[in-house]
Structure 1
Amino acid sequence: MKLRSAPLEDWLRDYYFTAEIDISSSGVQSYSMAELRTFTGIEYSDLDALVFDDGYSLGTPKVREAIARRWGDGDPGKVMTTVGSGEAIWLVLTALLRPGDEVVVVQPGYHSLVELAVGLECTTRIWRLDFDRDWRPRLDELAELVTDRTRAIIVNFPQNPTGASVTEAELREIVAHAERVGAYLLWDGAFADLVYDSPALPDVSTLYDRGIGFNTFSKAFGLPGLRFGWCLGPADVLADCVRIRDYTTLHTAPLVELLALGVLEHAEAFLEPRLKQARANREIVRDWAAAHPDLVAMTLPAGGVAAFPRLLGLADTYEFCENLFQQRGVLVIPGSCFGAAQHIRLGFGGSSEALVDGLDRMTDALRDERR
């Protein structure tokens, strides 16, 4: 596999740890170990009792059962726990795809969902989201992209970085397009529990026998540093993933799964406060964009905690984002990291105070650009 650099990670690697105000992230505000222990009831004695043996290739049975109950069809045999959802995506794509396979990917999109297929020398067909259509995915365009040669369709809705989503009826139509040609449908559901005006979408694995859903604690759960994720899909695909994993990570760490089980058993304690915070912050972003129509044009995200506004008058936001960080201490992501140079990824999952301060500083910077 020959992978190109990931511009998003290159940008964050330089700036993430030194930003004064971070309004770039696509995840909610992170929890501490103290908060995790409070919400789950995990005691120090539980940690002390843990023996650092090797783990199960597919994950600890109780953890897989908890995931299957909440997101799957109840069958833990369709669940694999992984080191973040990134490992799950890599394992599944490596197991399924071969050079020359035809794959539909979404742009602008998260790099793992596009570049891994490119690195595997697949033929990628782009399902493009358009700012002028409020980033709404056109299912008639997907129908034209899917052919008898399509091996996989790779999507994530609610979407990163645009915040666009689909209805359940549209989800089922996407499934139908995959089903008519026997393609795998790979669905990154990282933002499944971060939706505002509609119920969470069902996991695609419950709707289609070649549907594979990915998820993670890194976005809605506020636990990115735990590096815990999973996928739900056909048992034969997971078996192929295990054969690949036998040469890499082998299994998810027992300590991570101990903590993850506690989180899964008390999921709403983690999700509800951050969703409430995200709702309030989304209104702050809405009001900010409405107050500055000469500076920014934005579609309000339907899910997730990132918007993808266009900064008016800038053909490429990269230099602006660099100056915003260097001169004003504010971190956002230039849209070129997602192939949309006029835009920025604006995260609103953190504290409301930091968001307001960051937006004020960015407004001043945009005004200075006009002078």
Structure 2
Amino acid sequence: MRLRSAPLEDWLRDYYFSAEIDISSSGVQPYSMAELRAMTGLRQTDLDELVFDDGYSVGAPALREVIAGRWGSGDPARVMTANGSSEAISLVLMALLQPGDEVVVVEPGYHLLVEFAVGLGCKPRVWRLDPARDFRPSLDELAALVTDRTRAIIVNFPQNPTGTSITEPELRRMVSIADSVGAYLLWDAAFASMVYDTEPLPNVATLYDRGIDFGTFSKAFGLPGLRFGWCVAPPEVLTDCVRIRDYTTLHVAPLIELLALRVLRNADAFLEPRLKQAKVNREIFGQWAEAHADQISVSLPMGGVAAFPRLNGLSNTDAFCDDLFQRRGVLVIPGSSFGAPEHIRLGFGGPTDKLVEGLDRLTQELSTWGG
């Protein structure tokens, strides 16, 4: 297996920890351990009683039950916990795909969902989201890409980096398209609960026997440092995932699963405040974007906390993003990291005061570029 460089991670590696103001992130403001303990009732004695033994290959039973009840059909045999959704996605792709398989991937899109199958020797069929349609996906275009050789359709809606999404009827049509050729439908649901003008979409694993959902603490939950995720998938797929995991991570650490169980039993306490904050910040971003419509072109995200504005007059934003960081101390992501170099990824999930200050400095930098 040969993986190409991930431009997003290359960019963040150089800038992330030294940025004065980060408005690049696709996640919400992180919680602290003190906040986690207060919100879950976790006591010091609960931690002291933990024994650092090995864990279950597919996850602790109580944790799988909670996930199955909220995001699945109630069957814990269809759940696997993971070291972040990235591990779950990687394991599922390795379990399902063989060199030469056709897979549908979305661009612009998150590198793991685009490149990992390529590294496995698969043949990508790219479902391109058109900026002229505000990146709204066309199901007719998806249907035209799918063939009898399609092994998997790999998507994430609400989408990273564009913030676009689909409707429930479109989701059901997508399931029908996958079912027509017997393809798996892999759904990165990192932002499933973080939508603004509609209800969250149904979980694809409850609609389709070859549907696989992935969840994570890294985005809407505000707990990226825990590196906890999960997937809901057919049991036979999880069996193949375990065979691969036996050579790598083996399981999720018991400490992480202890914390994860407490969080998931109090999920709304973590999700609702960050969604409320995101709604406020989205409104602030929208007002800023409208005031600078001569400099940027963007549609408000339908979900998630990342927007993908185009900087008018620039064919590539790499140098602009570097100058913004070096001269203003503000971090955003150049669109070249997602195959759309005229754009930037701008995150609005963090503290409101940081967003306001970051947008002000971004405005100053735009003015120096003739915007």
TM-score range, shorter chain: over 0.9
1:356 paired with 2:351, answer no
Aligned residues: 371
Quick one: which amino acid aligns to residue 299 of structure 1? Answer: S
Which residue does the alignment assign to 2:123? 123
Match of 1:109 in 2: 109
* CA deviations over 1:83-104 (Å, ceiling 9, x no partner): 0000000000000001100000
Q: Deviations over 1:7-50 (max 9, x none)?
A: 00000011110000000000000000000000000001000000
Matched, 1:210 2:210: yes
SS for the counterpart of 2:190 is coil
SS in 2 for 1:154: strand
Deviations 1:84-131 (A, max 9, x none): 000000000000001100000000000000100110110000000011
Task: Give distance in 2, aligned partners of 1:340 and 1:126.
Answer: 14
Q: Secondary structure at the match of 1:302?
A: coil
Q: In structure 2, what is the Cα distance between the partners aligned to 1:169 and 1:208?
A: 14
Within the alignment, does 1:75 sit opposite 2:75 as a pair?
yes
Partner letter of residue 147 of structure 1? T
Encode CA deviations 1:190-214: one digit per residue, 9 max, x unaligned: 0001111111111111000000000
Distance (Å, rounded) in 2 between the aligned partners of 1:194 and 1:131 = 22
- For residues 67-91 of structure 1, the C-alpha deviation after alignment (integer angstroms, 9 at most, x for no partner) is 0011100000000000000000000
Aligned equivalents of 1:251, 1:293: Cα separation in 2? 49
- Which residue of structure 2 aligns with residue 37 of structure 1? 37
> Could you say which residue in structure 1 is the equivalent of 2:288?
288
- Name the residue aligned to 2:257: 257
Q: Does 1:346 align with 2:346?
A: yes
- CA deviations on 1:148-174 (whole Å, 9 max, x unpaired) are 110000000000000000111111100
Aligned pairs for 1:89-168 (under 5 A) are: 89-168=89-168
CA distance in 1, matches of 2:175, 2:164: 18
Q: Paired residue for 2:85?
A: 85
State the partner residue of 1:309: 309
Between the aligned residues of both structures, percent identity stands at 72
Q: Which amino acid aligns with 2:180?
A: R
**Match of 2:212, SS?**
strand
Task: Determine whether 1:63 maps to 2:97.
Answer: no
Equivalent position of 1:10 in the other structure: 10
Letter of the structure 1 residue corresponding to residue 57 of structure 2: S
Give the match's secondary structure for 2:125. Answer: strand
Residue in 2 aligned with 1:368? 368
TM-score (norm 1): 0.99
The residue aligned with 1:269 is 269
CA distance in 1, matches of 2:30, 2:202: 25
> What is residue 187 of structure 1 aligned with on the other side?
187
For 1:24, give the aligned amino acid: S
Matched, 1:170 2:167: no
Per-residue deviation at 1:138? 0.1
Q: Residue 3 of structure 1: SS of its match in structure 2?
A: coil
Instruction: Provide the C-alpha distance between the structure 1 equivalents of 2:245 and 2:208, rounded to a whole number of angstroms.
Output: 25
Secondary structure of 1:187's partner?
Answer: strand
Structure 1 position 369, deviation (Å):
0.5
2:151 match: secondary structure: strand
**CA-based RMSD:** 0.6
CA distance in 1, matches of 2:132, 2:360: 26
| Equivalent-residue separation in structure 2 for 1:13 and 1:44 (angstroms) | 34
The residue type paired with residue 311 of structure 1 is L
Structure 1 Cα separation of the partners of residues 102 and 223 of structure 2: 35
User: Is 1:226 the equivalent of 2:234?
Assistant: no
- Could you tell me which residue of structure 2 aligns to residue 300 of structure 1? 300
Please name the residue that 1:48 is paired with. Answer: 48
Structure 2: give runs of 5+ residues left out of the alignment.
Answer: none
1:184 CA displacement: 0.4
Q: Secondary structure at the match of 2:152?
A: strand
Per-residue CA shift, 1:197-245, capped at 9, x if unaligned?
Answer: 1111111110000000001000000000000000001000000000000
Counterpart Cα distance in 2 of 1:137 and 1:146 = 15
Structure 1: runs of 5+ lacking an equivalent: none
